[in-house]
Structure formats: C-alpha cells, structure tokens
C-alpha cells in the first residue's frame, strides 16, 4: 500500500513538472536530447529534494501539531490541488519565448517552481510518519520519467494535453487530502 500511495502522490506532484516539460518540449528543436535529459534530471532532483526538506520541517514541529495534524494535511493537499486546478483556468497555453534553446537558469527556476508543492507534501509525510528516503526516491524517479516523457510529447504534439494533466493531478491531491482527513476522523 505504501508504494502505491506514494507513487500516486508522486504522479500528482509531477503534473506541474510534466506540464512545464510539455510546454518546453514544444519549444525545443526536435534533436535536443541533452536539454531534455537536463530538464528531466533537474525536475527529478528537486521533486525528490523538496519532500525531504518538508519532512525535516514537519518532524521538528510534529509534537506541537499532533492533535490537529490531519486537518493540516488535508488543508495543505486541498490547497495545492485547488491551486493546480485554478492554474488550468487562469494560465495561458501558449509557449512563452518559444525558441530552440532553453537556458539552464530557466530550467533550474522551473524545477524549483514546480517542486514547491513537494515541500508541503514532505510536511504531510512527516505528519503521517511516512518513510522519507524511499518516498523521495519514488517521487524523484517518477518526476524524472514524466518530465522526460512530457518533453518528448510536447515536441511531438505541442501543449494539447497540458491542462488535462494538471487538472487530474490537482484532483488526485485533493482526494488524498480527503482520504487522510476521513481516516483520522474515523479513528477518533
């Protein structure tokens, strides 16, 4: 159960990176393997690193929030999921600055921006006492794979499915938040 739940969370967290990779893939020239691998590696590393940081923050304050931690987990995941869904309806689908080469700095900033949600999930992992090393590894590997796939898909079909992926990821995170809340409320 642990692996599958973590994998579902990883896929959901990776939807931002996947959507960004589709957009950047649509902007890249067809033969840009090095750039695709660099982007996927950055997205994977930051998606793996941020939950670790969040986990350390969460474990530090666990004893102070134990009575209402399930509400915090629910609110954080509902907020992240809602934000992802909101962005579907408020962001432009166009590929800004379409060019053949995306700078390393731009990829680094995208990697950080798309992994902030993973930091918050790391706090949730601390609350839920989820093993962080394996969770971070699963999240990083899935983010790498989805980002690489996203850049390839973006290059072939453009940004056609970007919004659908982001919307689905948001719904899944909200669903996991509801599941955590219901599990804790039923145990009272």
67 part of a folded domain: yes
Residue 7 in domain: no
Residue 92 has pLDDT above 80, yes or no: no
Q: Is residue 176 predicted with pLDDT exceeding 90? A: no
Q: How many independent structural domains does the chain possess?
A: 1
- Assigned domain for 17 exists: no
Query: Can you spell out the DSSP letters for 24-43?
Result: HHHHS-S--HHHHHHHHHHH
pLDDT in tens, 50-64: 999 999 998 888 777
More confident residue, 98 or 35: 35
Which tens digit of pLDDT belongs to each residue from 102-123?
Answer: 678 878 888 888 888 888 899 9
Structural contact between residues 77 and 174, judged by C-beta atoms closer than 8 angstroms = yes
* Residue 9 within any structural domain of the chain: no
Question: In this structure, is residue 23 part of a structural domain?
Answer: no
pLDDT of residue 101: 61
Angle of CA points 70, 146, 72, to nearest 5°: 10
Question: Would 141 be classed as within a structural domain?
Answer: yes
Q: Which pLDDT value is given to residue 99?
A: 45
Residue at 38 is within a domain: yes
Whether 163 is covered by a domain: the verdict is yes
Q: Which of 112, 66, 65, 84 is nearest to 174 (CA)?
A: 84
How far is the C-alpha of 188 from the C-alpha of 186, rounded, in Å?
6
In which domain, by residue range, is 110 found?
A: 32-93+100-186
Q: Average pLDDT, stretch 113-139? A: 90
């Amino acid at each position: 159960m642990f692996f599958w739940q973590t994998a579902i969370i990883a896929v959901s967290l990776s939807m931002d990176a996947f959507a960004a990779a589709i957009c950047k893939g649509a902007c890249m020239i067809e033969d840009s393997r090095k750039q695709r691998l660099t982007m996927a590696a950055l997205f994977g590393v930051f998606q793996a690193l941020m939950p670790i940081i969040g986990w350390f923050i969460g474990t530090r304050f666990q004893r102070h929030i134990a009575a209402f931690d399930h509400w915090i987990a629910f609110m954080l995941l509902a907020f992240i999921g809602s934000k992802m869904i909101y962005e579907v309806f408020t962001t432009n689908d166009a590929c800004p600055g379409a060019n053949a080469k995306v700078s390393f700095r731009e990829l680094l900033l995208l990697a950080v921006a798309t992994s902030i949600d993973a930091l918050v999930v790391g706090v949730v992992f601390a609350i839920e006492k989820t093993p962080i090393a394996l969770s971070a590894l699963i999240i990083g590997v899935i983010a790498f794979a989805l980002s690489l796939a996203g850049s390839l898909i973006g290059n072939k079909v453009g940004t056609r499915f970007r919004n659908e992926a982001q919307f689905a990821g948001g719904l899944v995170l909200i669903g996991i938040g509801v599941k955590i809340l219901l599990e804790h409320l039923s145990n009272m």
